[in-house]
Amino acid sequence: MTRIIIFITGIILLFSTSSWSLSSANIPLDSPIYSYLDKLSGFGLISTDITGIKPFSKGEAARMLLEAENNLKSGRSEQAGFASALLVRIRALIPREIAQRENPGTKPPYFDFNPVSSLRLRSVWLDGVPRDYHRLVHDPGNDGVFGIGSGLRPENPPTSAVMQRGREGTPLSENNNGVVYGNGSTGEIRWASEWYLGDRVVALLEPYVLATGDNTQLRLNRGYLKLGGGALELEVGKDENWLGLGCRGNITLTNNAENFTQVKISSPEPVNVPYIGALKYALIASRFEKTVVDDVERQPWFYAVKLSAKPHENLEVGFNLGRQVGGPGVNNSLGDTLRGMIGGTSADNSNGLAGIEARYRIPWLRNSELYGEFSGEDTALFWPIVESYVAGLYIPRLTDDGRNDFRFEFFQGNQILYTHGTFPGGYIYKDMPIGHSQGGATQDFFFRLCHWFTVRNNLALEYIYTNRGMVSRVAGQAIERKNAGRIIWSLPVHGDFDAQASYGIERINNMNLVAGEIQTNQLVRFELRYRY
C-alpha cells in the first residue's frame, strides 16, 4: 500500500501543470464555511469538491464558490434563494481570495497584514469526569479479511491482552486541537493574524489564552508559513489536519489531539492527472513527544500520506497512511529506517495504519452521500488487516429547500487499534488519540439533524451512542455504554459577529468498564465569533 501511494504521488508531481498559484491561509476545521460548501454541493452547484483532505485553504474555498456561482447562473439549482445567501456569506468571509480569483491579472500589494483575521471568545462550564482509555483488551488474533477467513495473524490464547492507552480530554467536546477544559468554568480567547507577501507567501499566527480559576495560560494553537499554492504548496509550522471523509472522526488523522509541528507538502487545489482525474494529495512529517511507558523510552518520527481522487464528479476515492518510525530504543540503521518508512522490515521499528475510502454522491436522491473508510493496523502481504471502519450517510436536503439536513456516522475500532508492542505509548500524541476521538476497541453511533432558519441561524440536535467492551473484554470488565445528546444553536449577532450556544448531557453506565460505575456529565458552551 505504501509503495503504491508513493508511486502515485510521484505521478501527481510529474503531471502538475499549475504548481505555483495563489497562496492563502487555511480555514479552521470548525468554521461554518465547511457546512456552507456542503450545502452548495447538496444543491448540485459544486461537483469538483474533494473532501477527504482538510483543512481547505481559503483559495480552494474561493475556487469552489466561483464554481457554484457559475452553476447557479446557468440554472443548475432551483433553490436560488437559499443558495445565493450561502454564496454571499462565503464571499464576506474570504474577500481577499475571491478578489484575486476574479482579477488574476491584478498584482496584490507586496506586503499586507491583517492583525485580526478571525477571533473566537468561548466560555465553557463543565460538570463531569472524562473517560480513561487505559485498559487491557483481549487480542484473539487469527484474523481474516472483512471477517472472512483466518490465519493472517497467529491465534492468541484467551489470556492474551494488549494495553489500550490515552484519554478522552473533555467530555462532550471532542476534536478540539487537544484543548482540555476542566471542571467548573473556563474562558478561552483565540485569535488569528495573517501576513502576506504578494500572492506567493502567507503566514498565520493563532495563539489562545485559556483561563480557569487562578490559572491562565497562553499557548499556540496554529502558527505556520506557507509557500506556493494550487498544485504544490509547502507549509512549515504548527497546524491541524483531517485526513478522511468522516464528520465526527476518522481512523488515521484528525484534530482531536494537539496540533503537530510539521512540514507539509500538499495540493490545496485539485490537480488533473491523465487517466486518473482530479486529485489532491498531502504528505505530512512530524515527530511525537518523548514518552516513557513501562520503563520504555520512545520518541518516534511520524509521517502521513493522503491521496484523494475524483475520477467522476459523483465519486471520490482515497488512500490513507499514517506511520510512526524510528527514534530512541529501536533499530535505527539507515537500511532498517528506510524500510520501516515504507514497510517490509523485520526490525519492528515502525507502526503504521493504512486504508482506503470512498464517497458516492447520489444525484437522484437530492445529492445525498454515502461514504466509508476501511483501515488496517497491520498488513498481510499488501492487504490491511486488523480492521477498523467508518461509514456514513449525509442527506444535505432532507427537505427540497435544503433547510434541513441529516447525518448518520458509524465507527468500529478494532481491539488493537492505536496499540503497538514496539511503541507501547500507542498511536497517541500527548495522551490523546490522533485518529478517532473515541479511541480503539470502541463502537460509536452518531446522529445529527440540523434546521437552517437562515444561513447564519441554524439549530442542530445530536445523539451519540458509544460502547466499549462489547468484544475484547478481559476478566473483571463490564460493557461501558454511553448515551449522549447535544443541542447547538448558531445565530448572527451584528455585522461579522456570530454567536453559538450549546448544551450537552451524557450518561455513562459502567464507566471505564467498571461494573456499577455510573457517571452523568454536562457541558454548557457559549462563544462569540468574528469572521470565523
Classify 88 as helix, strand or coil. helix
Q: Which of 106-110, 187-191, 298-302 has the lowest mean pLDDT?
A: 106-110
* pLDDT score, position 20: 44
Average pLDDT rounded to a whole number, residues 10-24: 56
pLDDT-based confidence at residue 15 (cuts at 50, 70, 90): very low
* pLDDT score, position 10: 53
Average pLDDT rounded to a whole number, residues 169-187: 96
Residue 282 has pLDDT above 70, yes or no: yes
* pLDDT score, position 251: 96
Average pLDDT rounded to a whole number, residues 300-312: 96
Q: How many helices (H) and strands (E) does the chain have?
A: 6, 27
Letter string b/e over residues 32-69, b meaning 16 or more CB atoms within 10 A of that residue's CB: bbbbbbbbbbbbbbbbebbbbbbbbbbbbbbbbbebbb
At the topology level, CATH places domain 2-530 in Porin (2.40.160)
| Average pLDDT in the chain | 90
Inter-residue contact 175 to 437 (CB < 8 Å)? yes
Residue 174 has pLDDT above 80, yes or no: yes
* pLDDT score, position 4: 45
Inter-residue contact 180 to 169 (CB < 8 Å)? yes
Q: What is the pLDDT of residues 88-101, one digit of tens each?
A: 999 999 999 999 99
pLDDT-based confidence at residue 5 (cuts at 50, 70, 90): very low
Q: What is the pLDDT of residues 357-380, one digit of tens each?
A: 999 999 999 999 999 999 988 665
pTM of the predicted protein model? 0.93
Please enumerate in sequence order all residues whose Cβ is within 8 A of that of 495, keeping only pairs 6 or more positions apart, or say none.
none
Cα–Cα distance, 295 to 260 (Å, whole number): 25
Residue 180 has pLDDT above 60, yes or no: yes
Question: Which of 136-150, 333-347, 512-526 is modeled with the greatest confidence?
Answer: 512-526
Cα–Cα distance, 387 to 380 (Å, whole number): 12
pLDDT-based confidence at residue 346 (cuts at 50, 70, 90): low
Average pLDDT rounded to a whole number, residues 474-495: 96
Average pLDDT rounded to a whole number, residues 61-87: 88
Q: Which of 266-270, 275-279, 339-343, 467-471 has the lowest mean pLDDT?
A: 339-343
Q: What are phi and psi of 67, to 5 degrees?
A: -60, -45
pLDDT-based confidence at residue 1 (cuts at 50, 70, 90): very low
pLDDT-based confidence at residue 141 (cuts at 50, 70, 90): confident
Q: What is the pLDDT of residues 197-255, one digit of tens each?
A: 988 899 999 999 999 888 999 999 999 999 998 899 999 999 999 999 999 999 999 99
- Domain locations along the chain: 2-530
Average pLDDT rounded to a whole number, residues 341-346: 61
Q: What are phi and psi of 103, to 5 degrees?
A: -130, 65
Pull the grid cell for residue 246: 468522516
Cα–Cα distance, 464 to 444 (Å, whole number): 7
CA atoms lying within 13 Å on the CB side of residue 209: 9
Average pLDDT rounded to a whole number, residues 396-408: 95
Pull the grid cell for residue 476: 473483571
Structure-model confidence comparison of residues 406 and 275, the more confident one: 406
Residue 76 has pLDDT above 70, yes or no: no
Residue 18 has pLDDT above 70, yes or no: no
Pull the grid cell for residue 125: 462550564
Residue of 237, 35, 222, 235 whose CA lies nearest to 117: 222
Inter-residue contact 299 to 288 (CB < 8 Å)? yes
Cα–Cα distance, 47 to 56 (Å, whole number): 16
Average pLDDT rounded to a whole number, residues 481-498: 97
* pLDDT score, position 17: 43
